Structure 1
Amino acid sequence: MAYVLVINSGSSSVKFQIVDPQASASDKPFVSGLVEQIGEPQGRITVKHGEDKWVVQRAVPTHTAGLQEAFRLMDLKGVGPTQIELSAVGHRVVHGGMVFSEPELIIDPVVTMIRDLTPLAPLHNPANVDGIEVARALLPHVPHVAVFDTGFFRALPPAAALYAINAEVAEQNLIRRYGFHGTSHEFVSSQVPELIGRDPKHTRQIVLHLGNGASASAVANGHPIDTSMGLTPLAGLVMGTRSGDIDPGIIFHLAREGGMTIDEIDNLLNRQSGVKGLSGVNDFRELRTMIDNEDENAWLAYNVYINQLRRFIGSYMIALGRVDAITFTAGVGENDQHVREDALENLTMYGIEIDPEKNALPNNGPRVISTDASTVKVLVVPTNEELAIAQKSAAVAEKARAAGLY
């Protein structure tokens, strides 16, 4: 069995899994792990294999040190990448810009191009490059593949992709709607037609990826026609710590009247806004506890969140013309029955009706939660971005071997 090592390298952490690309979406990875608090005085490295879990707490000064220690720990336990048959290493890369629309075999020029896209994703692409460079050094004889979060939305229709600003300015500065969470939206939307018994080429659906980051997409016959995130992952839905869509004039107001710098506004909108900015917490489990305890700020934050979610659902219903399915995925979407119920409340006139008993069932794989009478099927489909990345990476690696590159 040939596995794929999937790496998601962030600014202060590295998540990784060793995945069988032939596995089902519900199968657990062979190995999973996390390197966290990179660059801080006390770091933590966790590796899980089956029922076993190993933890090392020590300073992790760099991504290199963190991955080296994670590999050492896996090797010590006999489950390291060099001890199994590894067909590829797949890297999640947040921003592919206008350059990358498909998964790409990583060679030196590709690394350079990903680094050159840093102005479009200053918090993400540099960390992605760090993970690529470290893994290539540790596993030099295995094909490495970049899978781009923006890839699925690369071919959005111009009416959805372009902003109504000066065209020359937009072109010079690469300003357009790129969309994010594309790997998740593609993976989930591809599962839906079979679940509802429709031809993928004739299925119109809305996918709601609701986690700490949140995004919505309208997908017609396998192709996205709109998505909520934009030039950056800040746009669209209200999120855990991000504002989502706001009047752009607020930024000018905060600079002129509030005396805030660009960096301060950036921090405000990305890290101190959203549900956290309104309630003080960004975890929906904590928010629900606060709501149950009649906390007014928590209730307000929840209502703002739901209101924005319903606005996007409504606009995508119009954009699609006919909706066959609405699907919830990611941490909040898969596990919070109240969000699902409230997002689609009082929409029976549009053929949308949730079954309360089905909706209340615990998250245990893909399922339909609408009533039999609902003409629009409502589903919960767990996302599995790591499996999607593994499958894409294995396919690219196979082509590279067939071409004699490995």
Structure 2
Amino acid sequence: MKSCILVINCGSSSLKFALIDPVSQQEVLSGLAEKLGMAGSQITFKHGPTPRRSFRQPGEKDVSPLEGGNHAAAMDAIIARLKDEDLLDSVKAVGHRVVHGGEVFKSTVVIDDSVLAEIEKCSKLAPLHNPANLLGIRTAMQQFADLPQVAVFDTSFHQTMPEHAYLYAVPMSLYREHGVRRYGFHGTSYRYITSKAAELLGKPLEETAFVCAHLGNGASATAIKGGKSVDTTMGLTPLEGSVMGTRSGDIDPGIIGYLGSELNLSVAGVMDVLNKKSGLLGLSELSSDCRELQEAASAGNEAAKLALDIFSYRLAKHIAALTVGLGRLDALLLTGGIGENSAYVRANVINRLGFLGLKLDDDANAACTRGKVGRITTEESLPALVISTDEEMMIAMDTAKLAGLAA
């Protein structure tokens, strides 16, 4: 039987997983448990190219209600399906996505008690993410007590940033004593797409200079030179940077005190507005979903159009600014749910960046959706590439290496 890696990406109300063969680099089984802790919780399973059961089809999906509706119930359902598919014994290690590793974790690590304690400490820097990641780790450790558990950090990729990029202009004591600095996120995604882009362009990764944008409900952009992060838009937390689905991105810090006074809100109350009620949702007063906003904009909804224009304009500004850290630009890379599928947003961004040497190929842009990888600029233009990210594969390969299962 194949030796596989079980990848766990645990959110506050979701649990995404994938069972991956690190030798063939294929997903054997994957899935998503949603609405955990809420009414209507369910789990979706998707089968890989060679299902274990003859009655399953490659790529087949099936959805089931999730009795119990919590993370433990989701893990129970995953284990039950692995048993049903005769795959449970193939699991040889478990890899976990962890959002914030602070300055402690500069690379992937095998999880032990000291690692758990440090992840717990970093929870104050990512209160929406790290507690959920810890929940996934502890649940998996109960279910797979004898297997290596590995943590892959979003922030570790950005530990190569120079001081002038990661330090804020605040008293240095805040950095020394409280860790106030730019950390950056989406690092696992950036590692994956930069290596793929170097392959597509036929250049050694260490000789490349890319600006990469990971665009989804959370959105960030990063300057990557020679495969190393030199600057990024997200900061101490994932709130800083570009406009996002429900997050404001960059604002005047004075707004926090002003809103607290005007609306009689605590700091936590203001942060709730900025994290959960702002971004595309707040601007459009309609939805945080880019697809819904595009449909509404096409139907004449001016608020939806404005929200998308602001999203695109702010992103274009960040992309241009990030080239300062590179000294040159070899290609713009776009990934994530919006980056991979929204020709509308891609066009809106690239058409603002002609001064960098980018010129959109409208036909190529329109054709590049639903997992397609390709160039969306003209031949005489600087390349802009759409690349489907695969964070689960990166986590699996890191885990396999530390668990001694790499090819």
| TM-score tier (shorter) | over 0.9
Match of 1:21 in 2: 22
d(CA) in 1 for partners of 2:5, 2:178: 36
| Comparing 346-355 and 294-303, the one that deviates more | 346-355
d(CA) in 1 for partners of 2:175, 2:146: 41
1:19 CA displacement: 1.1
d(CA) in 1 for partners of 2:86, 2:171: 54
1:213 CA displacement: 0.6
Change (3 A) 1:206 1:73: same
AA at the equivalent of 1:362: C
Match of 2:296 in 1: 290
d(CA) in 1 for partners of 2:10, 2:356: 42
Match of 2:74 in 1: 66
1:34 CA displacement: 1.9
1:41–1:59 Cα contact (<8 Å) kept: no
Change (3 A) 1:23 1:3: same
Residue 381 of structure 1 pairs with residue 387 of structure 2: yes
1:6–1:17 Cα contact (<8 Å) kept: yes
1:47–1:74 Cα contact (<8 Å) kept: no
How many residues align? The count is 393
- SS at the partner of 1:117? helix
Change (3 A) 1:156 1:346: closer
Match of 1:2 in 2: 3
Report 1:2-401 matches (<5 A): 2-23=3-24, 29-49=27-47, 50-75=58-83, 77-80=84-87, 82-83=88-89, 85-279=90-284, 280-345=286-351, 347-363=353-369, 364-374=371-381, 376-398=382-404
1:22 CA displacement: 3.4
1:230 CA displacement: 0.3
Change (3 A) 1:56 1:344: closer
Change (3 A) 1:287 1:53: same
AA at the equivalent of 1:396: L
- 1:233-254: CA deviation from partner (whole Å, max 9, x where unpaired): 0110000111001000000100
Match of 2:54 in 1: none
Consecutive unaligned residues of structure 1, counting only runs of 5 or more, are 402-406
1:42–1:57 Cα contact (<8 Å) kept: yes
- 1:236-278: CA deviation from partner (whole Å, max 9, x where unpaired): 0000111001000000100112211222212111111000111
TM-score (norm 2): 0.92
2:313–2:352 Cα contact (<8 Å) kept: no
- 1:13-61: CA deviation from partner (whole Å, max 9, x where unpaired): 211110122345xx5x211122222223442122222344343324425
d(CA) in 1 for partners of 2:168, 2:216: 26
Give me the CA root mean square deviation. Answer: 1.7
2:99–2:153 Cα contact (<8 Å) kept: yes
Could you list the structure 1 runs, at least 4 aligned residues long, displaced by more than 6 angstroms after superposition. Answer: none
Match of 2:53 in 1: none
1:366 CA displacement: 2.3
AA at the equivalent of 1:353: K
AA at the equivalent of 2:73: A
1:129 CA displacement: 0.9
d(CA) in 1 for partners of 2:332, 2:60: 37
1:206 CA displacement: 0.4
- SS at the partner of 1:40? coil
2:4–2:21 Cα contact (<8 Å) kept: yes
d(CA) in 2 for partners of 1:360, 1:206: 22
Change (3 A) 1:347 1:214: closer
| Comparing 328-337 and 51-60, the one that deviates more | 51-60
1:314 CA displacement: 1.1
d(CA) in 1 for partners of 2:20, 2:114: 27
Change (3 A) 1:349 1:250: closer
- SS at the partner of 1:281? coil
AA at the equivalent of 2:12: S
- 1:52-100: CA deviation from partner (whole Å, max 9, x where unpaired): 434332442532232113312332x3244x23x2232100001001111
1:97–1:117 Cα contact (<8 Å) kept: yes
1:159 CA displacement: 0.5
2:214–2:336 Cα contact (<8 Å) kept: yes
- 1:268-300: CA deviation from partner (whole Å, max 9, x where unpaired): 111110001111211111101111111111111
